[in-house]
Amino acid sequence: MVLRAAIAVYRVHWGLSSRAWFGSASQPSYLLPPPTTILGALAKTLHDLGLLGTREFIITSIGSGSILTSGAASIIKILGRRWWVSAAWLSPSIRTGILIRYFTGPYQSLKTRREDLPQKLAVHELFAPIKLGYTISPHGRVMVLVASEDGDIDALKTGLQHVSRLGGKESFVDPLAVFEAQLVEEHGVNEIVTPWLTLRECVGNVYGNYVAEKTPVPRDADELICSYSAEPCSKLNPSLTRFNVLREAIHPRYPGWVRVKINTDKCGVYRVESLNSVFPSKREPTIEYILVHTRIVIPRVRDHGKEAG
């Protein structure tokens, strides 16, 4: 099996913030931008570039039935029948919380009626605390990979080259390099060393320093639409719920690699071949060396995008 891939390396301004849907700013950020965050950033960029078409909902007739297409269906069409999204840190990072206390005096001063004012106001109540969770890596480096069997690789490369944010509004990134590559499956390999996000279900034993956390990882069109939709997923597919996309991911301790035993029944091992620099035109020897010597674990799942046509 051969997959085509677009790989981007970004410089992180100071950190990333990506949290589970429904979560407040006080909860910790994911250690890496999860696939849903990457696809969301990619979809937003492709739309801004005019490559996704309309964002309106359209009824499209197919034979005797009809389907509801949207921006999610458009990104699935670009991704193709089979795809995989992953990320890896190339620099040290730490998940932390920041406590900010701000002065509420201006807010209190707007209360002009006596009944609006508290009868007693302690000094500490004038300073309201906010705790924010971030993954910090000042001027760090993060790699993003989007692989596809038959997707629009040119659109994926263009989108990754123009992504400027991976997460919340403070998660600014600058593209340093974008590559096009072929991923070739290696047979008979049951143990590898990798820096990339890997699903727990794909591996047996893990050796080295790593962190495991529940990360949103949609693996088919239904789950991707589910993660984008503001409606309950049961309306799209009664067997799915929004939280079905949460799966345990293995993150190497950053920066770092881990040795994992592969469950070859559920996942395949791929190596990077035919690596070509798209942006900038100059070569990036260090990054190219890392990519050529990396191995990527990709789940074996049913064809993606079948429902999206």
Instruction: Give residue-wise pLDDT tens across range 275-284.
Output: 999 888 677 7
CA angle at residue 173 from 167 to 177, to 5 degrees? 125
Across 180-195, average pLDDT: 94
Question: For residue 143, which of 170, 181, 184, 178 has the smallest C-alpha distance?
Answer: 178
Instruction: Give residue-wise pLDDT tens across range 213-271.
Output: 988 888 776 677 666 655 555 555 555 455 557 889 999 987 889 999 999 999 999 99
Report how far residue 188's alpha carbon sits from residue 204's, in angstroms, rounded to the nearest whole number.
16
Across 189-199, average pLDDT: 94
> Above 90 in pLDDT, residue 176?
yes
Q: Residue 197 contacts by C-beta under 8 Å, 6 or more apart in sequence? A: 32, 86, 87, 88, 215, 249, 250, 251
pLDDT of residue 303: 46
Architecture per CATH, domain 2-58+68-103+131-299, reads as 2-Layer Sandwich (3.30)
* Angle between helices 35-48 and 221-228 in degrees, nearest 10: 80
Contact 304, 80 (CB under 8 A): yes
The pLDDT confidence band at residue 12, using thresholds 50, 70 and 90, is very high
Contact 40, 167 (CB under 8 A): no
* Angle between helices 71-79 and 221-228 in degrees, nearest 10: 140
Instruction: Give residue-wise pLDDT tens across range 52-94.
Output: 765 554 444 444 444 445 556 678 889 887 889 999 999 988 8
Question: For residue 20, which of 300, 295, 243 has the smallest C-alpha distance?
Answer: 243
User: CA separation (Å) from 54 to 15, 69, 74?
Assistant: 32, 10, 9
DSSP 139-170: T-EEEEEEEESSS-HHHHHHHHHH--BSSSTT
Domain ranges of the chain: 2-58+68-103+131-299
